[in-house]
């Protein structure tokens, strides 16, 4: 049996189409949502991600601007720009593309973004709100994964949800969101003993480590739902997820692909956060 495909690309188009109604309502009140993306350095992947997000914004009706800085930019210069953007009424969302070059303290830069404009949900105030189960901005990737599970009709209450990867922008916030839905959550990482024994218990398995094809069929419980957050660039330039799609789709009940899975959902949820930030700015 082949697994059902969880098509993130098509769901993301639906999410973005739904934003257009909200954007029209804002236009009637004289507001156009605006996103400012800060891009530091020449990392090709970061440049592609920022351009993709800016294009998706424009296509959806959100104004976008990209603020580019060289690799060697000082923290002071970056913080000054963040302060300007915080004060700019045309900018409702600010995102700082990660990773930043090593001389910069990422946490200090992220904390400088106004929590009301933090559409990536990376500010401690928004991550803290998530921990407390209050409403704030939820990071796009975990929010997108939850939306995909909901759309696919995957039951969560009482189910074993296992996340491979403990990052602050995916693994940890996703664990909190799954807990809110009453899943029994396990987070695995590089020190986890017998990873396969743990992942084989998962009704919902989420791979977010950044190791191409780490998850193979022998690590997956038959009938599980598998969500692939990985975006790994192979030597031949092709994009590969953390999941070996071919072998795992013969075992899983449902699976998300790479590309065309979580990636487009991350962008769509960030845009939804920007529209919400614009709505909140006018009360
Ligand atoms: N780097 C990897 N993923 C992300 C993301 O979702 N947002 C930002 N700003 N940087 C990233």
pLDDT tens digit sequence for 104-150:
999 999 999 999 999 999 999 999 999 999 999 999 999 999 999 99
Q: From CA 156, how far away is CA 165, in angstroms rounded?
A: 19
Domain 140-263 indexed as CATH 3.40.50.720 = yes
Domain ranges of the chain: 30-115, 140-263
Cβ burial 98-108 (10 Å sphere, 16+ → b, else e): eebeeebeeee
Nearest CA to ligand 1 atom 8: 97
What is the bridge-based pairing of β-strands 63-69 and 204-207?
unpaired
Taking the centre of ligand 1 as the mean of its atom positions, its distance from the CA of residue 63, in whole angstroms, is 19
> Distance, CA 269 to ligand 1 centroid (Å)?
12
The minimum-distance atom of ligand 1 relative to the CA of 139 is 6
pLDDT at 1 over 90: no
Atom 3 of ligand 1, nearest CA residue: 98
Give nearest CA residue, ligand 1 atom 2: 98
Distance 98 CA to ligand 1 centre (A): 5
Chain segment 47-92, per-residue pLDDT in tens:
999 999 999 999 999 999 999 999 999 999 999 999 999 999 999 9
Enumerate residues lining ligand 1, CB below 6 A: 95-98, 120, 140-141, 169, 266
- Fold for 30-115, please state it: Rossmann fold (3.40.50)
Note if the pTM is more than 0.75.
yes
30-115 and 140-263: same fold? Answer: yes
Q: What is the pLDDT of residues 91-116, one digit of tens each?
A: 999 999 999 999 999 999 999 999 99
Alpha carbon distance 168, 207 (integer Å): 14
């Amino acid at each position: 049996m082949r697994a059902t495909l969880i098509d993130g690309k098509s769901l993301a188009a639906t999410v973005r189409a739904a934003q257009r109604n909200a954007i029209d309502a804002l236009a009637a009140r004289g507001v156009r949502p605006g996103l400012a993306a800060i891009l530091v350095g020449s990392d090709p992947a970061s440049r592609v991600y920022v351009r993709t997000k800016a294009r998706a914004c424009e296509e959806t009706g959100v104004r976008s601007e990209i603020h580019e800085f060289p690799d060697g930019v000082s923290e002071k210069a970056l913080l000054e720009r963040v302060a300007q953007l915080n004060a700019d009424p045309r900018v409702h969302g600010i995102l700082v593309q990660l990773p930043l070059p090593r001389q910069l303290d990422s946490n200090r830069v992220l904390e400088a973004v106004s929590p009301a404009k933090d559409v990536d949900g990376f500010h401690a105030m928004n991550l803290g709100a998530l921990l407390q189960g209050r409403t704030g901005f939820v990071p796009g990737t975990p929010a997108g994964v939850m939306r995909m599970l909901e759309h696919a009709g995957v039951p969560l209450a009482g189910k074993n949800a296992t996340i491979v990867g403990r990052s602050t922008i995916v693994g940890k916030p996703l664990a909190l969101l799954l807990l809110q839905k009453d899943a029994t959550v396990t987070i695995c990482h590089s020190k986890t003993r017998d990873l396969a024994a743990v992942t084989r218990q998962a009704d919902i398995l989420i791979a977010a480590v950044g190791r191409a094809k780490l998850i193979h069929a022998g690590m997956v419980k038959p009938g599980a739902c598998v969500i692939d957050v990985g975006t790994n660039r192979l030597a031949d330039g092709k994009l590969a997820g953390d999941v070996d799609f071919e072998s795992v789709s013969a075992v899983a009940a449902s699976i998300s692909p790479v590309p065309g899975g979580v990636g487009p959902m991350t962008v769509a949820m960030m845009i939804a956060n920007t529209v919400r930030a614009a709505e909140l700015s006018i009360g």
